[in-house]
């Protein structure tokens, strides 16, 4: 007979089982609570940044380049311009597989299972590349590779619409020069990677350069951009445009004119400078050989910069204007002062002669100037002290930087009088023993044309913000060099040169012209002299001077008697006067007597 069960034992067993159940249930609840809290941390609070890390893997940030400001002529026509372009690039690690998906551009719906071969065919038609070349560029294990460079926005949109995995478009810009070589040496040029190398592109880089922006967006694991996901744009700030004083049409005409004369005379180079007399604005600075900034490497490096401001040379007789100005202003001479000029003239053991054979002539000061006589010029200039001769050259800007805003500008060479030898102290009176640029010469004649007030030459007229706001560059106050009375006498002496002297080749039928020729020996690279520099500088119309034109020819070949830079002066001066509607002269030329 089995023993009866103890009721207390049964109760204890039931109680223990209930306790175990409660403990197990509590443990499960605690575990679920811990997991829930952790899930909340990960998904909601993200203390460890896991969500952000995942987002970061999906984010792509592209730089949005700012558009470089334009360089404009005086009428706002673009001489240099930046256009938006795109480089098509690829992350090859995202481009494998047999098929790919893309979003329809119109519906934003995902289209699945497009054969990669179809994608290559579509890209081939858009980019004009064969399929084999595209496969080589797109397939591989490189994180970055170029597929196509500098495509238009239209091509970029069509490429992205294909949806090829890993293929993107990096924004970039291209600098273009719509007028080619017109003012090329003034504008300068850019390197292939967008660095300014010369000209206004270099000196005005701070104003032309804007501030880049950025574009951030999400891509999926297949390399396709995710619509409606993160999309942050920081807009770029474009650079300022620079408006110059250059007249594009005049610049082109002057370049063609000097290039033709250099070719006719087989000269090394030549240039033409045109300056507005009353403002100092440079309207043209033309070189016989001018680089096309679109392909600057095609031009010899020595002709890539504007020789009008980088090449200094002995000017010759155009500098006699300064000697006459000093004599008039200091009361040493009048235009009609009389000089007996012998075939040769000796002073301090130095003998000087003229470029033409003659006996002793009875010449006025105006006649000495008109006939460009070295002998008579020394006779006038020796009445000035050496320091005065030097000071007058400096007053007219010789030996000083002109600072028009171009790299490579030279101040020229003007030694101090304590370094002059016995001959140089006199040769500086007729433009030898010193060196200056064509623009220096132009500003000497600008001073006389502007009634004796020398101005700062101006190449930059204004800076223009992207919204069109203009910031005019203030014109520096002029410096009076000679009195208005002296300037008027010098203008009449210049007209005397054109009518009665060496400047006849630049005369115009409809306008009164005042001009001066210059001839100087050109120093050779190995010492000594190996050619000549010819100049022709003039102003018109003489009754109210508006423009200065200076023509320079370096080492022309042939008989000097038949080499006439005045022909180019004549063409360019006529063009600038006519194109700016300057009324023809109505009065007859006024000249001084040249002999007595």
Tell me which residues are annotated as active site: 317
317, 336, 315: which is closest to 327 by C-alpha?
Answer: 336
Cis status of the peptide bond prior to 541, with omega within 30 of 0:
yes
Q: Which pair of tokens denotes residue 363?
A: 């010449």
Count of beta carbons in the 10 Å neighbourhood of residue 371: 21
Are 284 and 247 in contact, with CB atoms under 8 Å apart?
yes
Q: Are strands 71-72 and 241-244 parallel, antiparallel or unpaired?
A: parallel
Q: Is the dihedral of CA 547, 548, 554, 560 positive or negative?
A: positive
Count of beta carbons in the 10 Å neighbourhood of residue 249: 17
207, 192, 173: which is closest to 294 by C-alpha?
Answer: 192
Please report which residue ranges of 396-509 form alpha helices under DSSP H.
Answer: 424-427, 438-449, 484-500
* Residue 428 DSSP symbol: G
CA distances from 330 to 247, 428, 483 (A): 38, 18, 11
As a whole number of angstroms, the distance between CA 426 and CA 419 comes to 13
Count of beta carbons in the 10 Å neighbourhood of residue 16: 10
DSSP 332-357: S--TT-EEEE-SEEEETTEEEE-SS-
Q: Is the dihedral of CA 181, 187, 188, 189 positive or negative?
A: negative
Q: What phi and psi values does residue 183 have, to the nearest 5 degrees?
A: 60, 25
Render the burial of 490-514: b for 16+ CB within 10 Å, e for the rest.
bbbbbbbbbbbbbbebbbbeebbbb
């Amino acid at each position: 007979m089995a023993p009866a069960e103890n009721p207390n034992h049964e109760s204890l067993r039931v109680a223990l089982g209930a306790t175990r159940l409660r403990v197990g249930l509590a443990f499960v609840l605690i575990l679920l609570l811990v997991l829930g809290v952790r899930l909340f941390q990960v998904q909601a609070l993200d203390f460890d940044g896991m969500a952000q890390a995942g987002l970061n893997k999906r984010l792509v940030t592209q730089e949005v380049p700012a558009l470089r400001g334009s360089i404009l002529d005086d009428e706002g026509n673009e001489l240099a311009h930046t256009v938006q372009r795109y480089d098509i690039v690829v992350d090859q690690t995202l481009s494998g597989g047999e098929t790919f998906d893309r979003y329809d551009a119109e519906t934003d719906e995902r289209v699945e299972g497009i054969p990669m071969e179809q994608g290559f065919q579509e890209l081939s038609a858009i980019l004009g590349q064969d399929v084999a070349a595209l496969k080589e560029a797109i397939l591989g294990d490189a994180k970055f590779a170029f597929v196509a460079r500098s495509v238009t926005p239209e091509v970029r949109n069509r490429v992205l619409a294909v949806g090829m995995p890993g293929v993107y478009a990096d924004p970039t810009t291209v600098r273009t020069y719509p007028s080619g070589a017109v003012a090329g040496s003034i504008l300068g040029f850019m390197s292939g990677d967008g660095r300014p190398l010369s000209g206004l592109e270099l000196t005005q880089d701070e104003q032309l350069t804007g501030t880049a922006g950025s574009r951030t967006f999400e891509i999926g694991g297949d390399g396709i951009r995710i619509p409606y996901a993160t999309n942050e744009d920081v807009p770029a700030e474009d650079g300022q445009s620079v408006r110059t004083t250059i007249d594009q049409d005049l610049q082109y005409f002057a370049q063609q004119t000097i290039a033709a004369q250099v070719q006719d005379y087989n000269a090394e180079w030549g240039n033409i400078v045109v300056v507005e007399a009353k403002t100092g604005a440079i309207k043209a600075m033309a070189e016989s050989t001018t680089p096309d900034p679109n392909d600057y490497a095609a031009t010899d490096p020595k002709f890539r910069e504007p020789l009008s401001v980088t090449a200094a040379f002995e000017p010759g007789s155009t500098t006699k204007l300064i000697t006459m100005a000093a004599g008039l202003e200091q009361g040493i001479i009048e235009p009609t002062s009389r000089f007996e000029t012998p075939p040769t003239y000796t002073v301090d053991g130095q003998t000087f002669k003229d470029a033409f054979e003659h006996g002793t002539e009875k010449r006025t000061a105006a006649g000495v100037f008109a006939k460009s006589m070295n002998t008579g010029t020394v006779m006038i200039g020796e009445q000035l002290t050496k320091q005065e001769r030097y000071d007058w050259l400096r007053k007219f800007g010789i030996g000083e930087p002109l600072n028009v805003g171009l790299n490579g500008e030279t101040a020229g060479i003007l030694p101090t009088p304590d370094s002059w030898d016995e001959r140089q102290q006199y040769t500086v009176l007729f433009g030898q023993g010193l060196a200056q640029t064509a623009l220096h010469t132009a500003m000497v004649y600008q001073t006389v044309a502007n009634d004796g007030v020398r101005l700062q030459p101006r190449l930059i007229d204004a800076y223009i913000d992207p919204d069109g706001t203009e910031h005019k560059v203030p014109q520096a106050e002029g410096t009076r060099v000679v009195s208005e009375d002296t300037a008027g006498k010098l203008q009449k002496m210049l007209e005397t040169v054109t009518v009665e002297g060496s400047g006849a080749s630049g005369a115009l039928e409809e306008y009164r012209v005042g001009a001066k020729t210059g001839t100087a020996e050109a120093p050779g690279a190995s010492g000594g002299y190996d050619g000549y520099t010819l100049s022709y500088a003039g102003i018109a119309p003489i009754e109210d001077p508006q423009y200065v034109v200076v023509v320079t020819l370096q080492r022309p070949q042939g008989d000097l008697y038949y080499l006439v830079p005045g022909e180019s002066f004549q063409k360019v001066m006529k063009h600038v006067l006519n194109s700016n509607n300057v009324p023809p002269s109505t009065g007859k030329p006024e000249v001084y007597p040249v002999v007595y």
